[in-house]
A and B are shown apart, each in its own frame.
Chain A
Amino acid sequence: MSNGKSKALGVFALAMINVAAVLSLRNCPSMAIYGWSSIGWYLIGTIAFFIPLTLAGAELATGWPLGGGVYAWVREAFGEEAGFVAVFCEWSNNLVWFPTVLAFIASTFAYFLNPALANDNKFMFVVMMVAFWGTTIISLLGERTSSRFGSFGVVAGTIIPATFIIVLGLAYWFSGDPISLPPFSLSATLPDINISTLPFIAVVVLLFAGMEMAGFHALEVKNPQKDYPKAMALSAILIFVLAVATTLAIAIVVPVNQLSLAAGLMQAFQSFLQSFNLTWVVAPLALLVALGGLATLASWLAGPALGLGAVAAKGNMPPFFARTNKNGAPTGVLILQAVIGTVVSMLYLFVPSISTTYWILSAMTVLLLCIVYMLMFAALIKLRYSQPGTPRAFKIPGGIAGIWVTGGTGFIACMFTFLVSLIPPANYEHMSVLAYAMIMLIGTAILALPPLVFLRLKKPSWNIQPKKEVQG
């Protein structure tokens, strides 16, 4: 999607795209409920998924710095159909997931004005739409503008608030006041893994989803071979350190009985700040955290849309999807996803009985993401065999064994998450495991397989730029 102008993205901008996509403060209070063992849970997610995904993203992005990110990598390994399915899964996952992050932005923003507004569906709807369409317009202004917005949003809305909470947590720790956690011991950091807690592995794996997001912006990177590994390393360190430290800071200060995201993130922060007599900070903090939510939204909104635009530019979808504007933004895809996201958001907010339906749809997005990552890890392994000579500025160390350990670990983690997601939640007594699994699989297939329909219906007239090879 390069528009012929100078390359826009350097190491910092690339790293911030990943940090925005992955790091969210809203995960921290729910992880803090696990106390010291949250350290062990984070390590499981890091070893099983975060490190493999980071390494895979670095090798694939430096070997194939092509437009389309996941689409380009999976296509190189398994062909057009698989690449198309991968990027479509990531895109359709977004359509269902958008209302979740939009509702988070709106309910957090309500704390800036008046917390009671969080229960007002009309207020929620207006803020959600302003956020959604505003972020879409920013994406339409091109990658340079959207990456600047994303970088600003993630620094102001995620990194600064997280650092603020960590500093207060440290001050509390060193003040000698009694902490809210039981006494520390090494054994306390070990997760309690049993049949009941096994599904939580899916949570900690998916905490780190989005590390591949920078790959969608390959055509705008100044020096992909050098910048990608640095950006991946920078973002990985920032994400891990900030997530763990913020979680522990909250766990140390806030008693567990006050921690539940049923009240929303800002209630947990209110309890945290009350310990320091800083409740006046809640409103400005809410504004910043809402801004961080916008950065997350912008990252997920632009990346897969660019990927789908790259697919369409190769003539695999009707010309509407290939439309770009003078800024190189995929106009057709962005507008279509904004319209669909608007409709899903309306259903999410205004239909009282939608809750169960929406939750099942939301659970399907987990399956879609797992498909994306399984294809990506499989592509990583396959490309070492099928294209061993392709230069990669970053190569996963350890040769073939290293690739199998990295790709295999990530693949198994995703497969496990996929299977766990087919089990109904414990309170779904009215539905058998088999019925739930069938609904999930059929729904996922409906959301994942339109690419096969598009490829079957493909017409020569869809290829509106036959002579221009899109790098991806």
Chain B
Amino acid sequence: MANGSSSYLSPAIILVAVLVVVFMAVFLAGTNRSEFENPMDISAFEQALHDEGLQTCIQGDVNWMTTPGFVRGLFYDISTNCSTFDPNRPEARVWVLEFSNIEARDAAVRNFETSRRHIGSAIVWVKGSMVILVDGSQRTEVVSALREAMASIEA
């Protein structure tokens, strides 16, 4: 079944040419990046939660030590009523992450969206320099209120 090498030559040349053209096109497109036009403040996120009647039951720092471009991050376990909050039944787990540049922010989103074959119930919002992620167990009404909160944030 093995054929002579000459029969491979023409398709190979065409394929290499296509590769070079595509590479040049996407490389040039990829170098044209802009900086953040409207960096978001983390307090805007907290205010939006408050405005939608959401409470923070658990809050913690995100201490990523070696993630390039990562500036700071906060983690929230949120609920509509923290007095009934059960840590084994979280209602919405939110990570708010700030990055110093677009490449770092986009890499984080890409990492998240492609970390598994199906994103499932996870949610990603990009607001300026911030990436806001929701993952883990959820309650529908809490996530709905969170979506309203996110829609109210301009970035």
Cβ A426 vs Cβ B30 within 8 A: no
Query: Number of contacting residues on B, CB 8 A?
Result: 70
6 A-B contact pairs sorted by A residue (CB < 8 Å): A33-B93, A115-B66, A194-B139, A201-B120, A349-B26, A351-B30
Find chain B residues with CB under 8 A from A195 CB: 140
Cβ A188 vs Cβ B22 within 8 A: no
- With a 10 A CB-CB cut-off, give which of B23, B67, B70 has the most chain A CB atoms: B67
Which positions in B face A, CB cutoff 8 Å? 1-3, 11, 15, 18-19, 22-23, 26-27, 29-30, 32-33, 60-70, 75, 87-90, 93, 95, 97, 102-104, 106-125, 131, 133-140, 143, 147, 150-151
If A182-B88, A196-B143, A203-B120 touch, whether A119 touches B68 (CB-CB below 8 Å) is: yes
Cβ B120 vs Cβ A355 within 8 A: no
Find chain A residues with CB under 8 A from B135 CB: 30, 33, 260
| A34 vs B135: C-alpha distance when bound (angstroms) | 9
Cβ A115 vs Cβ B75 within 8 A: no
Cβ B115 vs Cβ A261 within 8 A: yes
If A198-B121, A323-B1, A343-B19 touch, whether A426 touches B147 (CB-CB below 8 Å) is: yes
Cβ B115 vs Cβ A26 within 8 A: yes
If A196-B138, A425-B123, A426-B147 touch, whether A121 touches B68 (CB-CB below 8 Å) is: no
Find chain B residues with CB under 8 A from A202 CB: 118, 120
| A354 and chain B: residue at smallest CB distance | B26
Find chain A residues with CB under 8 A from B66 CB: 111, 115, 266-267, 270, 282
Indicate which residue in A257, A262, A267, A421 contacts B118 across the interface (CB closer than 8 Å).
Answer: A421
Cβ B62 vs Cβ A257 within 8 A: yes
Known pairs A346-B23, A355-B113; list 17 more (Cβ under 8 Å).
A30-B115, A30-B135, A33-B136, A35-B88, A36-B88, A100-B114, A196-B139, A197-B138, A202-B118, A262-B97, A267-B64, A267-B66, A323-B1, A352-B29, A352-B32, A362-B113, A429-B147
| B103 and chain A: residue at smallest CB distance | A119
Cβ B29 vs Cβ A258 within 8 A: no
Find chain B residues with CB under 8 A from A322 CB: 1
| A350 and chain B: residue at smallest CB distance | B30
Cβ A257 vs Cβ B64 within 8 A: no
Find chain B residues with CB under 8 A from A107 CB: 107, 111
Distance to closest chain A CB from B128 (angstroms)? 15
Cβ A103 vs Cβ B114 within 8 A: yes
